[in-house]
Amino acid sequence: MATVTLKGNPIHTNGELPGVGRTAPDFRLVDGKLGEATLETFKGKKKILNIVPSLDTAVCATSARKFNERAANLHNTVVLVISADLPFAQGRFCTAEGLTNVVPLSMMRSRDFARDYGVLLQDGPLAGIAARAVVGIDEQDKVIYCQLVKEIAEEPDYESALAALR
């Protein structure tokens, strides 16, 4: 279990992020067409998992925008923005913001992804959704970077995440 804060108030996750060097846990998330997306869907690509509580918050929206901007220059890399939002809301957000370099994925059918990645919030006002985190995964599905953002209301370290994938 890890502890993060929301505006200084402690909140606990269900576990820890997968460690660098480990095989990334597989996942089943929902894409914008209500289909299933898994780790296998992105086989052979580097992956940035931008895990956010909800795109309907300023910091989450900012992180999606910033990764979208920076992802345009990444070779063989996909940025997955993973949240508890419905796929329809994620799609509207990405369309309205002109985000074409990120793939929004939803945990709407299950919180297994958040549990398996150790980011499921256990208490506090956001209990039941994911903490803010970034996980970098190489082409062989090995974790090469991870950051659990200690204060949910703060942005992740974009440069370190992107540097790990270069």
Q: What is the pLDDT of residue 73?
A: 84
Identify the active-site residue in 39, 60, 79, 165: 60
Expressed in percent and rounded to 5, the helix, strand and coil fractions of the chain are 25, 30, 45
- In the three-class reduction of DSSP (H, G, I as helix; E, B as strand; rest coil), residue 144 is classed as strand
| Closest of 156, 142, 138 to residue 45, by C-alpha | 138
Residue 10: per-residue pLDDT: 97
Q: Name the H helices within 14-125.
A: 58-71, 87-97, 112-116
Domains of the chain: 3-165 (3.40.30.10)
Find out whether 4 and 152 touch, Cβ atoms under 8 Å.
yes
- Residue 166 scores a pLDDT above 90: no
pLDDT in tens, 29-76: 999 999 999 999 999 999 999 999 999 999 999 999 999 998 888 889
DSSP helix/strand/coil, 50 = strand
Sign of CA dihedral 93, 95, 100, 106: positive
- What one-character DSSP code corresponds to residue 3? E
Instruction: Write out pLDDT tens, residues 118-155.
Output: 999 999 999 999 999 999 999 999 999 999 999 999 99
- Compute the distance between CA of residue 61 and CA of residue 97 in angstroms, rounded to an integer: 9
**Between vectors from CA 31 to CA 27 and to CA 49, what angle results, nearest 5°?**
50
d(CA 85, CA 129): 10
User: Do 154 and 59 touch, CB atoms closer than 8 A?
Assistant: yes
Beta-carbon contacts of residue 157 (< 8 Å; ≥ 6 apart): 134, 147
60 is catalytic: yes
